[in-house]
Amino acid sequence: MIKNAPYRFSDFESIELVYGYPDSMLNQYDSKTHHYQYLTKQGELIKDTLKLRDDDLLYLHRKAMELGYWNVADDMTTPADQRTTKAKVPRYKLTFNYKEKSKSVTLDADYEGVQKMKDAAKTTIDEVLNMLATAKAR
């Protein structure tokens, strides 16, 4: 069953994560180029190189499969006119790239759609962020 899965790790190429506020998505990571840039709490933009190990990428691929990331909607954003508050809301865009296709999901933190889909997307994004923090700490 895993060999015939729609997204196989043998076809895996990279993970891209972009997050921040919709008008300034400054936090970025690309596993193909190892480019990692993030905004510190003091507002300083740090550009760095961060390489994830193959085991890290395999873990993230399997976690996405386990959580049902492949089945969530691609656009999980809240239109500005439907926001309940005027506060800035974080937005995340996570993309898994494979040889012949990719899966990209854009998620707003205040998305009010199907809770199960939101949880799958948010948990997958959290796993990627945790893996980046772990790799940075090494």
Question: pLDDT tens across 39-59, in order?
Answer: 888 888 989 999 999 999 999
Q: Is residue 91 part of a domain?
A: yes
Q: Is residue 31 part of a domain?
A: yes
CA–CA separation, 64 and 77 (whole Å): 20
Q: Is residue 27 part of a domain?
A: yes
Element (H, E) at 27: strand 24-30
Q: Is residue 4 part of a domain?
A: no
Q: What range defines the domain where residue 125 resides?
A: 12-137
Question: pLDDT tens across 87-138, in order?
Answer: 788 899 999 999 888 899 999 888 888 889 899 999 999 999 999 999 888 7
Number of domains present in the structure of the chain: 1
What pTM was estimated for this model as a whole? 0.86
Q: Is residue 1 part of a domain?
A: no
Q: Is residue 106 part of a domain?
A: yes
Looking at residue 27, which CATH number applies to its domain? 3.30.1560.10
CA–CA separation, 58 and 39 (whole Å): 27
